[in-house]
């Protein structure tokens, strides 16, 4: 199992290196100017975009707290923030595949059952996707004149991005709470199991149990309509802090309004999510540079894409590493205290 995980991770890294190689080759003529732009970036600008990323995670923690308190009243905002940063660390460490597992593990560790935690995470992710689509649509309309001027040639691609994002969001919601969807899925799995001479029977039984728990948990949360609307509102507010980062980076070098910068960033993130790549590495930069190059110089867009990646990917990873280190230290200290108490009790005997 461990060898297979390492092999999967190796394949992911190979794909990332390939994608980055394609990007470097595509924008090879701008490599020098991009580095020059990065050197000219003021430390104050770096500090601001890191602060904006931190606020994003604070709001993400608030969303997790609201959902988790439906099952565990003692779950705090601080725990929600730690969970968001812990997931960010695992997202980078596993190139995207481990963030969901990390969230479920952390929630269970703090009093939310595995089935409930799985349903909570899936619903939170689905609402996040819906919020991205709503945000992108809202700011696309607000910036319609500029968007039509700069991105007329990409209109078909943009519409495809909206469609795929909508399909993903609907599938996630169905996966969370639709008994009919689950029955259809397990009919397919049963056929596969028969062809595999019933070797997957135990696995399918476990998956059925988990889906049943997730379905119950998701339906329970979806009945809280006012809470769902509140979470979508918080998601849209949260996204403002990430999607405004390019405006902070470009406002002195390009003629771009805040709403336009957020519209283009949301579109680039949405389109990048449609393209298959581990943690969006490579695709996000490629789409970001392609779209922003229509507004500003390629070298400026390239530097902004790297700084944006640092703010939304690397910086949260570093903050998450602090959370992981603190958790391990706390566990070691707890284990040492337990061992000491146990030794003391033996002496007393």
* Residue 151: per-residue pLDDT: 76
Give residue 242's Cα distance to chain centre. 12
Higher pLDDT, 122 or 70: 70
Identify whether 22 is part of a domain: no
Q: Report how far residue 95's alpha carbon sits from residue 9's, in angstroms, rounded to the nearest whole number.
A: 8
Identify whether 100 is part of a domain: yes
pLDDT digit string, tens, across residues 101-146: 889 889 999 998 887 888 888 888 888 888 888 888 888 888 888 7
% of the chain beyond a pLDDT of 90: 20
Identify whether 26 is part of a domain: no
Confidence of residue 12 (pLDDT cuts 50, 70, 90): low
Query: In angstroms, what CA-CA distances link 226 with 66, 112, 179?
Result: 12, 22, 24
The answer to whether the beta carbons of residues 126 and 167 sit under 8 Å apart is no
Query: In angstroms, what CA-CA distances link 312 with 51, 170, 229, 280?
Result: 11, 26, 25, 11
Identify whether 24 is part of a domain: no
Q: Which of 326, 344, 322, 323 is nearest to 334 (CA)?
A: 326
Identify whether 56 is part of a domain: yes
Higher pLDDT, 100 or 213: 100
7-26: b (≥16 Cβ within 10 Å) or e: eebeebeebbeebeeebeee
% of the chain beyond a pLDDT of 70: 78
* Residue 15: per-residue pLDDT: 56
Q: Which of 315, 300, 321 is nearest to 34 (CA)?
A: 300
Identify whether 31 is part of a domain: no
Question: What integer best gives the mean pLDDT of the chain?
Answer: 79
Q: pTM value?
A: 0.79
Overall number of domains in the chain = 1
Confidence of residue 294 (pLDDT cuts 50, 70, 90): confident
Confidence of residue 175 (pLDDT cuts 50, 70, 90): confident
Confidence of residue 244 (pLDDT cuts 50, 70, 90): very high
Q: Report how far residue 25's alpha carbon sits from residue 75's, in angstroms, rounded to the nearest whole number.
A: 48
Residue 164 above 90 pLDDT?
Answer: no
- Site of tokens 């403002």: 240
Least confident window among 113-127, 303-317, 330-344: 330-344
Is residue 166 within a helix (H) or strand (E), and if so which, with residue range? Answer: helix 155-177
Identify whether 28 is part of a domain: no
The answer to whether the beta carbons of residues 89 and 103 sit under 8 Å apart is no
Identify whether 67 is part of a domain: yes
Residue 33 above 80 pLDDT?
Answer: no
Query: Which domain covers residue 308, as residue numbers?
Result: 43-326
Q: Tokens in use for 335?
A: 């284990």
pLDDT digit string, tens, across residues 188-209: 878 877 777 777 677 777 677 7
């Amino acid at each position: 199992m461990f060898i297979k995980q390492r092999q999967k991770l190796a394949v992911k890294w190979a794909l990332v290196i390939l994608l980055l190689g394609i990007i470097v080759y595509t924008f090879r003529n701008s490599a020098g100017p991009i580095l020059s732009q990065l050197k000219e970036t003021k430390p104050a600008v770096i500090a601001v975009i890191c602060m904006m990323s931190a606020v994003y995670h604070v709001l993400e923690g608030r969303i997790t707290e609201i959902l988790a308190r439906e099952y565990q009243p003692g779950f705090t905002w601080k725990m929600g923030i730690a969970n968001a940063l812990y997931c960010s660390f695992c997202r980078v460490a596993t190139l995207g595949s481990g963030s969901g597992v990390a969230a479920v593990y952390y929630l269970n560790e703090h009093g939310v059952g595995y089935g409930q935690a799985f349903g909570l995470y899936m619903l939170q992710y689905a609402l996040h996707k819906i919020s991205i689509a709503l945000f992108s649509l809202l700011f696309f309309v607000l910036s319609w004149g500029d968007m039509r001027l700069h991105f007329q040639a990409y209109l078909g691609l943009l519409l495809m991005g909206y469609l795929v994002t909508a399909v993903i969001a609907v599938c996630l919601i169905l996966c969370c709470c639709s008994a009919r969807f689950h029955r259809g899925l397990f009919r397919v799995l049963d056929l596969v199991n028969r062809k595999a001479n019933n070797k997957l029977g135990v696995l399918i039984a476990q998956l059925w149990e988990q889906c049943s728990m997730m379905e119950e948990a998701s339906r329970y949360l979806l009945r809280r309509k006012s809470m769902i609307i509140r979470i979508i509102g918080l998601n849209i507010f949260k996204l403002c802090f990430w999607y405004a980062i390019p405006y902070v980076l470009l406002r002195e070098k390009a003629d771009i309004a805040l709403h336009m910068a957020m519209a283009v960033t949301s579109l680039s993130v949405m389109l990048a999510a449609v393209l298959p790549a581990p943690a969006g590495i490579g695709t996000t930069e490629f789409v970001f540079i392609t779209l922003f190059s229509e507004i500003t110089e390629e070298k400026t867009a390239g530097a902004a894409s790297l700084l944006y990646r640092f703010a939304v990917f690397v910086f949260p990873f570093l903050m998450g590493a602090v959370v992981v280190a603190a958790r391990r230290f706390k566990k070691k200290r707890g284990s040492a205290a337990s061992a000491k108490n146990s030794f003391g009790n033996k002496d007393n005997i």
